Amino acid sequence: MLHRTIPACCAAAIAALLLALPAVAERVSSPDPAHALEGPALVRALRGGGYTLYFRHTATDFSQNDRGMTAYGECATQRNLSEAGRGEARAIGATIRALGLPVGEVIASPFCRTMETGRLMFGRAEPSTVVRGYEGTNPANADYGSLVALLASPPKPGTLRMITSHGNPFRAIAGPPHLAEGEAAVLKPAGAGFVVVARIRREDWEALAASVR
């Protein structure tokens, strides 16, 4: 059964959350200058918990696609992680452990590539269509209200919420630039929404760890 992080709520409340955000054309998902963190300050903040890290899955095999997909568990009909992507996920997870970051819940889009990213990084992942934004593969079914509500909610005290999902849902609610494969946006709850305090590319983790040695 798919994990449902946000309880069902009325359509009007979800619509209000979306309307509270500026139009996509007016938003960018670069770090908010008033809240931006980097280097040792970012590590200290993450060690204290209270943030969500939204990862796009790591590198994939673009010779594959999802057009023949009929079920989330059918990996043979989806675009999957490449061997390089698997190595990236393991390396990111190892650095997060070395930094002593307090990993709490790990939520993944139910696609094979996002589930595998979560499991390779953190050893576990709970599938949720909330972080995908819609059922199946048709973006015409998108409803991102529940995702906005999730990102606006604080994780359990003293922990970080980890999400492994796709680039498109995040761009839809936060604006450009698009997350690269393996890149994470660090999000802080802010009222009915969230602010981006940092973006961490897959190649940035080593430098982040070095900054606090």
The backbone region for 131, taken as left when phi is positive above 0, alpha when psi lies in -120 to 50, beta otherwise, is alpha
Residue 22 lies in a domain: no
Return the closest-CA partner of residue 54 out of 116, 134, 132.
Answer: 132
Cis amide leading into 177 (omega within 30) = yes
Average pLDDT on 84-112 reads: 98
Q: Domain span at residue 52?
A: 32-210
pLDDT of residue 15: 45
Residue 60, classed as helix, strand or coil, is strand
The model's pLDDT over 58-80, given as tens digits with 9 standing for 90+, comes to 999 999 999 999 899 999 999 99
How many domains does the chain contain in total? 1
Q: Taking all residues of the chain, what is their mean pLDDT, rounded to a whole number?
A: 90
Confidence at residue 135, expressed as pLDDT on a 0 to 100 scale: 74
- The answer, yes or no, to whether residue 24 has pLDDT greater than 90, is no
Q: Determine the pLDDT at residue 143.
A: 86
Strand order in the sheet with 160-165: 126-127, 103-108, 160-165, 52-56, 184-190, 193-200
What pLDDT does 7 receive?
53
Range 152-171 average pLDDT: 97
Instruction: Say yes or no to pLDDT of 1 above 50.
Output: no
Give me the pLDDT at residue 17, please: 52
Is residue 132 included in any domain, yes or no? yes
Amino acid 11: pLDDT? 44
Q: Looking at per-residue confidence, does 9 or 38 come out higher?
A: 38
Q: 162 Cβ partners below 8 Å, 6+ apart?
A: 52, 53, 55, 103, 104, 105, 106, 107, 118, 121, 122
**Over 50: is that where the pLDDT of 139 sits?**
yes
**The pLDDT value given to residue 142:** 83
Q: What is the CATH number of the domain that holds 79?
A: 3.40.50.1240
74 touches 127 (CB < 8 A): no
Please tell me the least confidently modeled range out of 48-57, 109-118, 137-146: 137-146
Q: Is residue 12 part of a domain?
A: no
Q: Within a domain: residue 84?
A: yes
* Residue 19 resides in a domain: no
**9: pLDDT strictly greater than 80:** no
Predicted confidence (pLDDT) at residue 21 exceeds the cutoff of 80: no
Residue 171 within a domain: yes
Report pLDDT for 188: 98
How much is the average pLDDT of 91-99? 98
Q: Which of 55-59, 71-75, 139-143 has the highest mean pLDDT?
A: 55-59
Higher pLDDT, 154 or 17: 154
d(CA 212, CA 126): 31
Burial group, residue 1, by CB count within 10 angstroms (0-12, 13-18, 19+): exposed
Q: Would you state the structure tokens that stand for residue 109, as one six-digit string? A: 């889009």
- Look at residue 16 and tell me whether its pLDDT is greater than 70: no
Is 148 part of a structural domain of the chain? Answer: yes
Q: Is residue 164 part of a domain?
A: yes
Q: Determine the Cα–Cα distance for residues 10 and 77; give it in Å rounded to an integer.
A: 35
